[in-house]
């Protein structure tokens, strides 16, 4: 136990020393006006340097992630099919699928699944 604590403290000390050395030796300065600008060529930009962000694309991505996590929750239900009571497994599975179907129906009603308005 004492050896593990000693190794832990040595690891912490070495990592802090390495971070301190990297901060000290860093050549990047935060006060340089040209480095903070979007273009380093010396010309002032005539237009916005960022691409416009599509909120609808973000919402489609969030819907995909939510349903992807729900699919990942369905896989253990398939694995426990033979290990549990059939009535209990069926009721939980049907309840979960009804929640998924209601979610898809709500997004369809809000026209979130259509790419164009």
98-103: average pLDDT: 88
38-44: average pLDDT: 58
Same-domain pairing of 62 and 105:
yes
Its domain, for residue 26, covers 2-36
Tell me: pLDDT of 17 over 60. yes
3-state secondary structure of 82: coil
Tell me: pLDDT of 58 over 90. no
Share of the chain above pLDDT 70, in %: 74
73 in a domain, yes or no? yes
Same-domain pairing of 69 and 104:
yes
Tell me which DSSP letter residue 45 carries: P
H-helix or E-strand containing 113? none
Instruction: Locate 44 and state its tokens.
Output: 């002032």
Instruction: Locate 10 and state its tokens.
Output: 């040595």
60-78: average pLDDT: 84
How many structural domains does the chain have?
A: 2
44 in a domain, yes or no? no
pLDDT computed for residue 9 by the predictor:
93
d(Cα 104, Cα 117) in Å, to the nearest integer? 18
pTM across the whole model: 0.46
76 closest CA partner among 98, 92, 62, 99: 92
pLDDT computed for residue 28 by the predictor:
64
82 in a domain, yes or no? yes
d(Cα 55, Cα 75) in Å, to the nearest integer? 31
Same-domain pairing of 61 and 105:
yes
Q: Which residue has the higher pLDDT, 1 or 85?
A: 85
Same-domain pairing of 60 and 100:
yes
Same-domain pairing of 101 and 60:
yes
Contact 89, 77 (CB under 8 A): yes
């Amino acid at each position: 136990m004492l050896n593990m604590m000693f190794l832990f403290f040595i690891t912490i000390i070495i990592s802090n020393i390495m971070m301190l050395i990297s901060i000290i030796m860093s050549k990047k300065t935060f006060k340089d006006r040209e480095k903070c600008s979007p273009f380093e060529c010396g010309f002032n930009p005539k237009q916005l340097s960022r691409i416009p962000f599509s909120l609808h694309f973000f919402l489609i991505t969030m819907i995909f992630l939510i349903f992807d996590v729900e699919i990942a929750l369905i896989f253990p239900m398939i694995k426990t099919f033979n290990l549990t009571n059939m009535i209990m497994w069926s009721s939980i599975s049907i309840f979960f699928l009804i929640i998924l179907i209601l979610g898809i129906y709500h997004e369809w009603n809000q026209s979130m699944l259509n790419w164009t308005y």
